[in-house]
Amino acid sequence: MEQTPARLMALPSWLLTQTATHTHRLVQEELARSGARGHHYRVLATLEEFGPASQATVGRHAGVHLSDVVAALNELAELDLVERAPDPQDRRRNVITITPAGRRQLKKLDKRLAEAQEELLAPLSPEEREQFTQVLARLLSHHER
């Protein structure tokens, strides 16, 4: 195994980037086992938590660009995991709703992501995991302002 320069190992930004690369791979592999992608999970989780919404609203809540939301919704609709219906208040807009099959798929994906989290955080104790998650959430919150 190649050694990493000490000056890189001392940079939180470098450590976060390297960890994010591994995390992305773990998550993508787990989701792929259920025939899903990250955008699928984010869209289904958003609809489950916030209820029916327009494509644009789903994208904003899920943190997914509108063009990617449309592609994800097309894929999810083909699998009957979401339904599109015209908005009764504005016929030019669609309202997206998660289906019962979508809720079942979301539960499967939750289990897959729990496995990815377990692998990612394996070297940490339960207390360290909680602390790590809180610190990351605080950093993210600060930089999203």
Sole residue written with tokens 């992608």: 37
Q: Give counts: helices (H), strands (E), the chain.
A: 7, 3
Q: What is the pTM of this model?
A: 0.88
Sign of the Cα torsion 18, 20, 22, 25 reads negative
What digits encode the pLDDT tens for the residues 47-68? 999 999 999 999 999 999 988 9
Classified as helix, coil or strand, 4 is: coil
pLDDT of residue 103: 98
What does the alpha-carbon distance between residue 58 and residue 65 come to, in Å, rounded to a whole number?
Answer: 10
On the question of pLDDT at 90 being above 90, the answer is no
pLDDT value of residue 80: 98
Q: What percent of the chain has pLDDT over 70?
A: 99
77 touches 95 (CB < 8 A): no
Give all domains of the chain, ordered by start, each with its CATH number. Answer: 37-113 (1.10.10.10)
pLDDT mean over 24-32: 95
DSSP assigned state of 100: H
